[in-house]
Amino acid sequence: MESFEFTNDTPAVDVASLWQDYLKSKSVELRNQLAEFYLPLVRLVAGRLAISLPSHVDRDDLLSSGFFGLLDAIDRYDIERKNKFETYAGIRIRGAMLDYLRAKDWLPVAIRQRIRRYEQAVYDLENRLGRPATDEELAEELSLSLKELQALEGQISVATVIPLDDYLRADSPLTGEPGPSDRMEREELRQTLAAAIERLPEKEKKVVALYYYEELTLKEISLILNLSEARISQLHTKAIFRMRGYLARMKASLV
């Protein structure tokens, strides 16, 4: 899904030559030159992760882990498969960053419990209503005030780090050429996701579209919708839990 486009002043022909020389020699010096050229890609992926990261996550550590993901991508890249390097590397970089976050065990137990409670409330309420719940309805379901609900959603936004990418990237270049049954399953998944997105309230639908399909950052979305970055993060959180609930209900109905 993601193209991971970025700009760099080095002419493309130089990069192509650099790749050819590196693939022949596998020298550390040439690998480092490639890594330097693609460094903006690491910053791009880190910027896109920011929609869900709490302030205490060290950005420099995140960038460092992404840089090692980039080196791994350069080492493993198979030019014969004709996959675009930026797409392949973007997945490796993102994976390295998420591995770093998991290793830090950055979600406290108390927040994990609040996440489960919130997610269950969204699931139960919207299952009964048959439509997206309003803030007032969700606050009542959780026995919270609207202000307390907003504070809770701010806390649990850390649980939604790129939560749909694993679904949306069903055509990942890492998986090889899909067979007919794989393509059918992927198309069904895309249709289910499209139905889940269509059910979202309008603002949440716009945030999902701008983030996952237009690939904009949190700051860019906030400027387009004329809302604060905190509000965009909150809308993103709401959308994700609504969609998780919808997908869970769809799965349950098929069992």
Torsion of CA 240, 241, 243, 248, to 10 degrees: 140
54: CATH: 1.10.1740.10
Do 242 and 144 sit in the same domain of this protein? yes
Report how far residue 242's alpha carbon sits from residue 225's, in angstroms, rounded to the nearest whole number. 21
Do 238 and 132 sit in the same domain of this protein? yes
Residues 225-235 have a mean pLDDT of 88
Name the domain count of the chain.
Answer: 2
Q: Which domain holds residue 80?
A: 12-103
Report how far residue 17's alpha carbon sits from residue 14's, in angstroms, rounded to the nearest whole number. 5
* 243 found inside a domain: yes
The candidate with the shortest Cα–Cα distance to 76, out of 3, 40, 22, is 22
Residue with tokens 């999902």: 208
226: CATH: 1.10.10.10
CB atoms within 10 A of CB 28: 10
Do 215 and 160 sit in the same domain of this protein? yes
Do 141 and 75 sit in the same domain of this protein? no
pLDDT for 125 equals: 92
Report how far residue 213's alpha carbon sits from residue 205's, in angstroms, rounded to the nearest whole number. 11
* 5 found inside a domain: no
> pTM score, two decimals?
0.59
pLDDT tens-place string over residues 171-229: 343 344 455 665 666 677 677 778 888 889 999 999 988 887 787 877 889 999 999 88
CB atoms within 10 A of CB 106: 15
Do 233 and 113 sit in the same domain of this protein? yes
* 1 found inside a domain: no
Do 119 and 239 sit in the same domain of this protein? yes
Residue type for position 148 = E
